[in-house]
Amino acid sequence: MSTGKLMSAGIFTAIAASLCCITPVLALVAGTGSMASSFSWMAPARPFLIGLTIAVLAFAWYLKIKPTKTNDMDCNCETVKKASFLQSKTFLAIVTVFAVLMMTFPLYAKIFYPKPKAQAAAVVAVDNRQQTKFIIQGMTCEACEEHVNNELSKVAGVISYKTSYATRSSLVDFDRSKVSESAIEAVINKTGYKVKSYVLVKPPAQ
């Protein structure tokens, strides 16, 4: 296989490795929340795809830097043609850096999300304050957390929230006189992730 094909394969697998986390950012930019979890099913394959990307690029580098055999018996050999830019070490280096950025995308994806707007402080009656834990399917990285938090920050009546892809949940503190659990569930579902169930954690004071 030529280095050109190896580089193409490396780029493809690197993007595929983090596609589940790239999609939420694209969904935010496009304003189409429903596509956010489109590739969440690929998350289990991420370690395999990262390993494949590293192996492909390592082999491409091996082919590029290994010594070129020359025929000592033929002193009138033709001059070796200079490789094009797309076949050069410089381009392979660019591809490698791009692949690394793609594979590590989940680590810095949150910088692409706007900081959730803090809602104006309001006096909430103790008997109206409620805390509910929403169990969410489809979240695979911090980008997913930021997507859910970004939408929750826009809901009137939501006091605070803590979303975690590791626990597949979002703990939401809200004023039940302004918003209901079903309304919050609908907001989360619009992101493309789905609320599987929710559990009352802290009921209103009686």
DSSP E strand boundaries for the chain: 129-137, 158-164, 169-175, 194-202
State pLDDT tens for residues 1-46: 677 888 888 889 888 888 877 877 777 666 665 666 677 777 778 8
For the question of whether the overall pTM of this predicted structure is more than 0.75, the answer is no
**Lowest-pLDDT range of 40-49, 80-89, 152-161:** 80-89
Percent of the chain whose predicted confidence (pLDDT) is above 90: 32
- Higher-pLDDT residue of 182 and 45 is 182
Strand order in the sheet with 194-202: 158-164, 169-175, 129-137, 194-202
